[in-house]
């Protein structure tokens, strides 16, 4: 592989270099941008200007000096006084409001200028150009109607790439989504794991003609090994992961053809990995919490923003030729988990992998009630009869779950559900009982994705 399929040439242009950067040039760019961002934030943002824990000398001589500055947290995005934004509200091309379960209770407000939106469209265009060719039909399995939403920006990026974007009817049923795929026969698709999982399994079990899709971009949530396999087996997909959240301007890090980590959007984001408990930086290769500093967001600079997501950094050059650093071992923060009396825990990854290993399951919703014993309710949407006993058997086949069932620490309630009222686009999540909606209150610290 060569550098042709990478974002490096684009990154070089965005860094005003005119050529694909060397690693040293990326480091210089980052240090320059960080110093500029810090100076601008202190001058223009009331929140940063009034922080008492800010060091008197905030000039960075090295990237490591950034660790002297205090963290910013999701709650800080909800503050009205002092506000974190550095430009007047009239300069916002889009404001995204995301409910949080943080201590302030105020929703996060995320501010995008026209330039931020333009940067994301450009990133989507260049990123998709490493995965699909002009002229290809690319199905977009995100809501696309809201201007400035992730689906809208992806559609606009694909249009600039001269691809043919196809907005799937994700506000309807999964059958409508599958029908749209059969009608348009796209060669690529982008969406969340829940959406793509339901579509691939439905299309394989409804008796209709098989679909062939070469490329799947999976975003906004981590994908389970069983779904990755299903996309490869049933549609013939090469699966590419993307990580991002509203706070990153949607685009954050993208896999390449080497499938050995996700290259960080280092033109616009500085990523640190810290120990989630101590807040101290960890060594490259060690998993910890992703902490972000935005490098180009004038309206709402985020400095050392704690995302709650986990990953490790691989700084080595990639086989694809890119010098952009990579994120590995990504894990979302908000999915929730059950802690059993034995001390073992069950999270949505484990449950998801077990449930989908049962033939015929298209979608499910998991709700946990604290114990002991913990009650785990699974509502299963199935395209084949007798899925419930298969799911029960699949769960009981996992050593941890079998032990918890035998010890009386866990009770499973499994039922078939129609599922029609569930949003097709949602994150995988272990819900608490009484959650008003499948995307309702987050069980742990918030940092919402793609609202
Ligand atoms: Zn690569």
- State in Å: Cα 241 to ligand 1 middle: 12
- State in Å: Cα 337 to ligand 1 middle: 32
Residue 433's pLDDT is 66
Tell me which residue of 351, 354, 352, 336 sits closest to 430, measured CA to CA. 336
Residues near ion ligand 1 (CB < 5 Å) are 256, 258, 318, 320, 322
- State in Å: Cα 161 to ligand 1 middle: 21
- State in Å: Cα 257 to ligand 1 middle: 6
Residues of the chain with CATH 3.40.50.12780: 4-116+256-333
- State in Å: Cα 98 to ligand 1 middle: 32
- State in Å: Cα 314 to ligand 1 middle: 11
One pLDDT digit (tens) per residue for the chain, 451 residues: 434 579 999 999 999 998 999 999 999 999 999 999 999 999 999 999 999 999 999 999 999 999 999 999 999 998 888 999 999 888 888 888 887 655 566 888 999 999 999 999 999 999 999 999 999 999 999 999 999 999 999 999 999 999 999 999 999 889 999 999 999 999 999 999 999 999 999 999 899 999 999 999 999 888 888 889 999 999 999 999 999 999 999 999 999 999 999 999 999 999 999 999 999 999 999 999 999 999 999 999 999 999 999 999 998 889 999 999 999 999 876 566 778 887 778 888 888 888 988 888 888 999 888 878 889 999 998 877 788 999 999 999 998 889 889 999 999 999 998 766 778 888 887 877 655 444 433 333 323 333 3
Are 131 and 215 spatial neighbours (Cβ–Cβ below 8 Å)?
Answer: yes
- State in Å: Cα 4 to ligand 1 middle: 11
| H or E stretch at 44 | helix 23-44
Tell me which residue of 381, 375, 361 sits closest to 432, measured CA to CA. 375
Tell me which residue of 77, 119, 120, 439 sits closest to 250, measured CA to CA. 120
- State in Å: Cα 289 to ligand 1 middle: 22
Residue 450's pLDDT is 35
- State in Å: Cα 51 to ligand 1 middle: 39
- State in Å: Cα 319 to ligand 1 middle: 6
Residues of the chain with CATH 3.40.50.980: 131-243
Instruction: For residues 57 and 64, give the distance between their C-alpha atoms in angstroms, rounded to a whole number.
Output: 14
Residues of the chain with CATH 3.30.300: 337-450
- State in Å: Cα 288 to ligand 1 middle: 21
- State in Å: Cα 313 to ligand 1 middle: 13
Of the options 2.60.40, 3.30.300, 3.30.70, 1.10.3470, the CATH number for the domain spanning 337-450: 3.30.300
Residue 340's pLDDT is 82
- State in Å: Cα 324 to ligand 1 middle: 8
Rounded to two decimals, what is the model's pTM? 0.90
- State in Å: Cα 126 to ligand 1 middle: 14
At residue 15's C-alpha, the angle toward residues 243 and 294, to 5°, is 45
Q: Helix or strand or coil: residue 81?
A: coil
Task: Tell the CATH topology of 131-243.
Answer: Rossmann fold (3.40.50)
- State in Å: Cα 323 to ligand 1 middle: 8
- State in Å: Cα 186 to ligand 1 middle: 25
Q: What is the 3-state secondary structure (H, E, C) of 114-133?
A: HHHHHHHHHHHHHHHHCCCC
Tell me which residue of 190, 189, 320 sits closest to 263, measured CA to CA. 320
- State in Å: Cα 8 to ligand 1 middle: 10
Residue 153's pLDDT is 96
- State in Å: Cα 7 to ligand 1 middle: 9
- State in Å: Cα 158 to ligand 1 middle: 21
Residue 370's pLDDT is 81
For residue 140, the tally of other CB atoms under 10 A from its CB is 23
- State in Å: Cα 255 to ligand 1 middle: 7
Are 314 and 261 spatial neighbours (Cβ–Cβ below 8 Å)?
Answer: yes
- State in Å: Cα 326 to ligand 1 middle: 8
- State in Å: Cα 148 to ligand 1 middle: 28
Domain 4-116+256-333 class in CATH:
alpha beta
- State in Å: Cα 167 to ligand 1 middle: 28
- State in Å: Cα 368 to ligand 1 middle: 39
- State in Å: Cα 262 to ligand 1 middle: 7
- State in Å: Cα 180 to ligand 1 middle: 32
Kindly give the pairing relationship between strand 215-218 and strand 238-243.
Answer: parallel
């Amino acid at each position: 592989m060569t550098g042709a399929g990478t974002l490096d040439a684009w990154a070089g242009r965005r860094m005003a270099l005119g050529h694909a950067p060397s690693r040293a040039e990326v480091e210089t760019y980052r240090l320059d941008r960080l110093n500029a961002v810090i100076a601008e934030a202190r001058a223009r943002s009331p929140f940063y200007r009034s922080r008492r824990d800010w060091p008197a000398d905030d000039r960075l001589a090295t990237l490591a000096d950034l660790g002297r500055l205090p963290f910013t947290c999701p709650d800080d995005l909800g503050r009205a006084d002092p506000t974190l934004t550095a430009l007047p509200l009239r300069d916002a091309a889009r404001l995204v409001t995301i409910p949080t379960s943080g201590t302030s209770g105020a929703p996060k407000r995320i501010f995008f200028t026209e330039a931020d939106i333009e940067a994301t469209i450009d990133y989507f265009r260049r990123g998709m150009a490493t995965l699909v060719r002009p002229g290809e039909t690319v199905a977009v399995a995100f809501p696309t109607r809201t201007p400035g939403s992730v689906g809208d920006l992806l559609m606009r990026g694909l249009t600039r790439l001269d691809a043919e974007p196809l907005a799937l009817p994700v506000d309807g049923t999964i059958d409508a989504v599958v029908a749209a795929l059969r009608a348009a026969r796209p060669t690529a698709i982008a969406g969340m794991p829940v959406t793509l999982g339901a579509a691939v399994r439905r299309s394989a079990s409804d008796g209709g003609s098989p679909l062939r899709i070469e490329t799947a971009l999976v975003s906004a949530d981590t994908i389970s090994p069983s779904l990755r396999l299903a996309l490869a087996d049933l549609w013939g997909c090469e699966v590419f992961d993307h990580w991002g959240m509203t706070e990153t301007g949607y685009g954050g890090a993208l896999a390449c053809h080497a499938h050995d980590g996700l290259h960080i959007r280092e033109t616009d984001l500085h990523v640190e990995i810290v120990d989630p408990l101590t807040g101290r930086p960890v060594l490259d290769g060690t998993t910890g919490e992703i902490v972000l500093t935005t490098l180009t967001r004038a309206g709402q600079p985020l400095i050392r923003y704690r995302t709650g997501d986990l990953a490790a950094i691989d700084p080595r050059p990639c086989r694809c030729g890119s010098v952009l650093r990579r994120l590995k071992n990504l894990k979302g923060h908000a999915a929730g988990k059950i802690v059993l009396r034995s001390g073992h825990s069950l999270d949505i990854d484990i449950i998801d992998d077990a449930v989908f290993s049962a033939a015929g399951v298209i979608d499910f919703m998991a709700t946990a009630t604290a114990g002991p014993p913990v009650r785990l309710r699974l509502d299963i949407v199935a395209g084949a009869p007798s899925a419930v006993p298969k799911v029960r058997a699949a769960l009981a086949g996992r050593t941890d779950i079998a032990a918890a069932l035998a010890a009386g620490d866990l009770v499973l309630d499994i039922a078939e559900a129609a599922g029609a009222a569930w949003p097709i686009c949602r994150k995988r999540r272990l819900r608490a009982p009484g959650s008003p909606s499948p995307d309702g209150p987050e069980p742990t610290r918030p940092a919402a994705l793609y609202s």
